[in-house]
Structure 1
Amino acid sequence: MSEQYEYVPHRLLRHRVRDLVSGTEGELMAVINENVSDTGIERWMELAYIRAASGREFTTPAVNVQPA
């Protein structure tokens, strides 16, 4: 099995962004290509890690991120 994750460069890193699905805004901390499978078959997805004003981070698919 390959690595569980890999950091991906993103033009909005360390910028204020909005999650299109939830509408929550925060600072984009990282985009990571992660194996999100819970079975033996690999399934990779680019996840954005966003730090909200509360200080808590949440994830969303990177395609859901836009500048705030």
Structure 2
Amino acid sequence: MAEVYEYVPHALLRKQVRDIASGAEGELMAVIHENVSDTAIEHWMDLAYVRLPSGCEFSTLVDNIEAV
């Protein structure tokens, strides 16, 4: 199996973003091309990691984020 993640450059890194799915807003901390499979068949997705004002972070699909 290949590496389980890879950092991806993104124009909105360290900018304020909104998660369209939840409406939550915070700072985009990283975009990671991540193997989310728990089987032998690899399934890769681009995940955005967003830090809320509280300091908690969550992940969402990178296609779900937009600039605030």
Query: Alignment length, in residue pairs?
Result: 68
Listed one character per residue, the Cα deviations across residues 31-51 of structure 1 (whole Å, up to 9, x for unaligned) are 000000011100000000000
TM-score by length of 1: 0.98
TM-score calculated relative to the size of structure 2 = 0.98
Local SS of the residue matching 1:63:
helix
Equivalent in the alignment of 1:12: 12
Partners of 1:62 and 1:24 in 2: CA distance:
14
Counting aligned pairs with the same residue, the percent is 65
Matches within 5 A, 1:56-67: 56-67=56-67
In the alignment, the residues of structure 2 paired with residue 11 and residue 66 of structure 1 have an alpha-carbon distance, to the nearest angstrom, of: 11
Structure 2: gaps (5+ residues): none
> Which runs of structure 1 show a deviation greater than 3 angstroms over 4 or more consecutive aligned residues?
none
Which stretches in structure 1 are left out of the alignment for 5+ residues?
none
